[in-house]
Amino acid sequence: MTKNLLEPIAQLFRPQRPFWACEFTARHLIVGGVSSSRRKVSTKGVSTLPPNVLTGSLSEKNIADSQTVLHYLKELLSQAGFRGHEIGIVIPDDAARITFLTAETLPGTEEERAAFIRWKLKKTVPFEVDTAQIAYNIVGTRLTGDNKGTDLLVALSPQSVIEEYERLMESLGYEAGHVIPSSLAAMNLFTVPSADVLLLKIAPGCIATTVFQNGRPEFYRKVAEMPLFDAIYPTLMYYQDKLAGSGLTSVTVCGYDTDVQPELQELQNKLNVPVQRLGPKSIDDIYKPVLGAVDVVWANLI
């Protein structure tokens, strides 16, 4: 079994992440590296993949043409000046299931918690959950109400999917330091306010929305590429109906394509709230998931 678990948000399993990461999307390979202090971006680069060589999926093989992807990956890492032997991997959101669970009584040991998560998700995912790579983060507790207990943010992916990406790195002599879905990597850069806010993550073929209330994530939803307002509308309805939302105060966007600017303006007009870019604003959005994956300290970046 592979040793690299699918890690959400920054604190679990490893005391320190690699200084380099590579994101795989259906259209790009994206690499980024930071200094030893993690306060400076030392290098970044992007390569455009040919069509149909890589597609994020939970039930299908992700890498249709491994030799082509390997060629572009080797060239990109060389151009970026990759040094060392360990690198983080950012996988497409379509290659992971991200969900929330509430445990009325959270088991005490990691083994018991993993068994509980697998049991809860066994009938809800389209792959074998008993061998899936699973990681979780405790996002808070509820002391009253029907859903009282401990809330978990869970990420899981088929073991075979994780191994596809790991094998690419291993074939070049590198070790996959950790694996993380793109949305959760970008979330590591998000300074969450105490108000109700929405994080909108736009990627090739996939749009993900996360609702935050009182500084914690409460709802995550992922859909295929479509007009942005259509993509977020069901999330807005859930926020109002199920989360008793009184009104979003802002929308923060991480996108790969500058052509969405007219749609972002439309969102701002329809929602009547500020629509702003995910920081750091001095870095193109396409690099933000890889920087989130290496825990860049971006407050002082210029």
pLDDT category at 108 given cuts 50, 70, 90 is: confident
User: How far lies 56's CA from each of 52, 104, 216, in Å?
Assistant: 11, 33, 27
Domain identity same for 293 and 268: no
Whether 280 shows a pLDDT value over 70: the answer reads yes
Domain identity same for 108 and 148: yes
**Contact between 184 and 23 (Cβ < 8 Å):** no
Distance in angstroms (rounded) separating the CA atoms of residues 224 and 202: 10
Which stretch of DSSP H or E encloses residue 162? helix 159-171
Whether 244 shows a pLDDT value over 80: the answer reads yes
Domain identity same for 155 and 196: no
Whether 11 shows a pLDDT value over 50: the answer reads no
The confidence score (pLDDT) of residue 3 equals 37
How many structural domains is the chain composed of?
2
Residues whose CB is less than 8 angstroms from the CB of residue 56 and which lie 6 or more positions away in sequence, other chains included: 24, 25, 26, 62, 91, 92, 93, 94, 95, 205, 206
CA-angle at 246, arms to 264 and 229, nearest 5°: 25
Whether 38 shows a pLDDT value over 50: the answer reads yes
The confidence score (pLDDT) of residue 302 equals 42
Q: Which of 44, 66, 64 is nearest to 289 (CA)?
A: 44
Q: Which residue has the higher pLDDT, 92 or 256?
A: 92
Residues whose CB is less than 8 angstroms from the CB of residue 3 and which lie 6 or more positions away in sequence, other chains included: none
**Contact between 235 and 209 (Cβ < 8 Å):** yes
How would DSSP label each residue in 239-287?
HHHTS------EEEEE-S-GGGHHHHHHHHHHHTS-EEEPSPTTS-GGG
Tokens 């210029």 identify what position? 302
Domain identity same for 248 and 283: no
- The two beta strands, 275-277 and 250-254, are parallel
Domain identity same for 52 and 164: yes
Domain identity same for 233 and 155: no
Domain identity same for 229 and 116: no
Tokens of 238: 């859930």
* Residue-range definition of the domain harbouring residue 213: 190-278
Domain identity same for 46 and 194: no
Distance in angstroms (rounded) separating the CA atoms of residues 18 and 30: 15
CATH number for 106: 3.30.420.380
Whether 300 shows a pLDDT value over 80: the answer reads no
CATH number for 250: 3.30.420.40
Domain identity same for 63 and 154: yes
The torsion angles phi and psi of 192, rounded to 5 degrees, stand at -85, 120
Mean pLDDT of 267-275: 94
Q: Which residue has the higher pLDDT, 300 or 181?
A: 181
Domain identity same for 152 and 210: no
Average pLDDT of the chain, as a whole number: 90
